[in-house]
Amino acid sequence: MKHSIEKFHDISSKAFDETSHYKFNKNIDITDKYRKGRLTSAEWISKLVYIFMQKEKNLAKEFQEEINIQREKLKDLNEGDYKE
């Protein structure tokens, strides 16, 4: 099973490919309205993926901070406070 960052990277790559395809390939037999819609949706997906990738990065940082906070709290416990 892929990790979420890998999935986000795959989605971002596909959105970039689609953006490039519709932005620079003028030989396609489509309307300007359709082209604009495809570009808008690909750019929207790219931005959404970026937001979730940033959240993923922050999640690991927040998790490590919480581990450190809990570790500091446990240092202050006396031997009998947590053992029976």
List CB contacts of 18: < 8 A, sequence separation 6 or more.
38, 42
pLDDT greater at residue 81 or residue 30: 30
Examine residue 24 and state whether it is found in any structural domain, yes or no: yes
Query: Total structural domains in the chain?
Result: 1
Judge whether 36 and 2 are in contact, CB under 8 Å: no
Q: Has this prediction a pTM greater than 0.75?
A: no
- Report the mean per-residue pLDDT for the chain: 86
What's residue 3's pLDDT?
80
Residue 79 has pLDDT above 80, yes or no: no
Q: Which domain holds residue 58?
A: 4-75
Average pLDDT over residues 1-22: 87
Examine residue 82 and state whether it is found in any structural domain, yes or no: no
Rounded Cα distance between 67 and 5, Å, is 22
Examine residue 22 and state whether it is found in any structural domain, yes or no: yes
Examine residue 10 and state whether it is found in any structural domain, yes or no: yes
Examine residue 80 and state whether it is found in any structural domain, yes or no: no
What's residue 1's pLDDT?
47
